[in-house]
Amino acid sequence: MHFIRIMLKKIISIFSAIAICLSFLSNSALSIFADEKSELDSLESKHIVLMDYNSGKVLYEKDADSKIYPASTTKIWTAFCVLKKCKDVNEVIEIKDMPVIEGSSMYLENGEKFTVLELLEALLIHSSNDVAFVLARHFGDGDANNFIKFMNEEAAKYGATHTHFHNPHGLPDEEHYTTALDMVNLSRVAYGNDIIKKIVAMKEVDFKKSHNCKLDRQMFNSNKFLSSLDNIDYKGKKIPIKYDIVDGIKTGYTDDAGNCLVSTAQKNGSRLICGVFGAPGGALYHDSRMVLDYGFDNFKSVTVFNKKDLKGEKKVKFAKPSTIKYSVANDYTITIPKDKNVDKKDYKTKFNFSNLKLPVKKGDVIGTVSIFDDGNMVSSIGLIAENDSQSYLQYVMSLLPFGKEKNKSEKTDSEKKNAEEKKTENAKSEDKKDSKKEENSKEKDASKENEKTNDDSFVEKVKTAASNSYNGFIAIFSGIGDFFSNLFTSNGIKNIENSNFYKFLDKKISEKVTFIPAKVIIWGVPILILLIVLILLIAIIRDNIKKKKNKKSEKKKSKNKKQSSNKEEINIKKEKVKNEVSEKKEMSVDDIIAKEDESKTLNKNNNTNDITQETKRIPIKKDN
């Protein structure tokens, strides 16, 4: 017993020591955390926001909701809205009627021609104000104000309720304002675009003199985190401004706004986005680095949902194949304090396929998965199709000769797009012309190969399709049934107009008929058919009623005939009886007596015969 007591005392003392150490460590960690946070509060920059890129959670903020002037960080949103409106980044814009724009400029000249992509590079790397105006005017249909209106509408959609843009470049204007929190939120949205992500990581861009470009232009990225060899004082040391973990996104400066920088960095699987506004000269990069380092030192990234966890299949009616496999665009990862853990059970998902439109190509975004934490939506991730799918009508159309031609043109368009994308990758190389020639020849070869593929036998395709014909027809009629059954629901017409069948009809009719709205044809033709069917049904019912009436009258006539024939028979019988009676009356008394004797004799003979028969049947007993 004494030994056990000694052991228990030792164990208790060990655990007590561990507990004291842990409490000391946690307290010291908390004190370090608090000290670092107080250091951020004392930074010279007026407005600061540190945000987890994946979840959008704010990790640190300083005066984040006050009204500020965004200066050239405006161009982040300008670029995003350009890409929202632009169908092809290789579209060429000719410089015309160029006004004088103050501030940073690319010095565009009338008659020069640049692609949208080239102008976006100048906008985000060199921060050219004249480029911002050209893009806004072009995508505002000739009026920059139309584009600025669009910028504000899009900002409101993403929750930037304290932001109002009044120009596309960020030059001083009392009606052009935002908040640090709004600007970081919008920058986070814009950075999600792959083109913007690629441009803001570039250190420089060159435009060589040519028939489209009147001057040689070499422009360096204004974000010194990417390449600057200058030094800053940081925590008592001289260190380079260049910070390898930073890969975007945009600077800004005006006298009213002060120095501004939205930056993003990735480390140990975590991506943070930081906004520093109203920084005095020399403090911009110091303060930005302090905030980023604070984030990486005190927070960690945890993957709540892996891409594999959210893989699935979507059943689509009226489609071939009827199942579309999908995966999510990325993992859902959050950043939390290093001393905390996350319970994945607190997170729920909701899938949305309301924007799914047939046909679907592999790689298309067919929906979103929204992620909720404690009932609040914290993220929305795109769902990517892993296979092609099309409606049965589209499939049938593709087999027809005219559908086949359209397929060819669509393929040619996609080939052109692919070729153009290849061109953009090599757009800045010195042997640009040679690469274009090679790509053009490749494009021709690719189109020839596709033409050979398109020449596959129509009969072979029909044979292949025949095996699925039964399921196809069932799917078609069930789809049409659903289409019309939606009429009788509470939102019948809306449901029908949102259906794939309706959208398909609307698209096809709009392509073929321009003088009558597709909606009139879609609703008018079925109503007309229903009226014709109704008229036919009424005619059939009327004919049936007539037939029934005719049958009844025929039955009546036959009944009357039978009754009259029965009466005739009765009358004939009556006449016969009367005749017999009259004959009897005419017979003499002797004849009557003779007749009666004759009948008696017959009866007697019959009785004698009966007795003889009975006698024969009785057995004769012999005496012993």
Selecting among 55, 104, 127, 379, the annotated active-site residue is 127
Selecting among 45, 55, 62, 75, the annotated active-site residue is 75
User: Does residue 222 have an active-site annotation?
Assistant: no
Q: Is 561 annotated as a binding residue?
A: no
39/294 Cα distance (integer angstroms): 10
Contact 53, 292 (CB under 8 A): no
User: Does residue 55 have an active-site annotation?
Assistant: no
Contact 190, 200 (CB under 8 A): no
Instruction: Residue 183: name the closest of 300, 330, 42, 61 by CA.
Output: 61
The amino acid present at 428, given as its one-letter code, is K
313/338 Cα distance (integer angstroms): 36
SS3 content of the chain, % helix, strand, coil (to 5): 55, 20, 25
Neighbouring residues of 204: CB distance < 8 A, sequence distance ≥ 6 = 125, 218, 219, 220, 221, 227
Selecting among 45, 55, 72, 288, the annotated active-site residue is 72
363/212 Cα distance (integer angstroms): 35
Q: Is the dihedral of CA 95, 100, 101, 106 positive or negative?
A: positive
Contact 140, 148 (CB under 8 A): yes
Instruction: Residue 374: name the closest of 63, 55, 116 by CA.
Output: 55
502/519 Cα distance (integer angstroms): 9
Measured at the alpha carbon of residue 44, what is the angle toward residues 42 and 47, in degrees to the nearest 5?
95
User: Does residue 127 have an active-site annotation?
Assistant: yes
Instruction: Residue 118: name the closest of 148, 154, 82, 84 by CA.
Output: 82
Residues with catalytic function: 72, 75, 127
Binding residues for substrate: 250
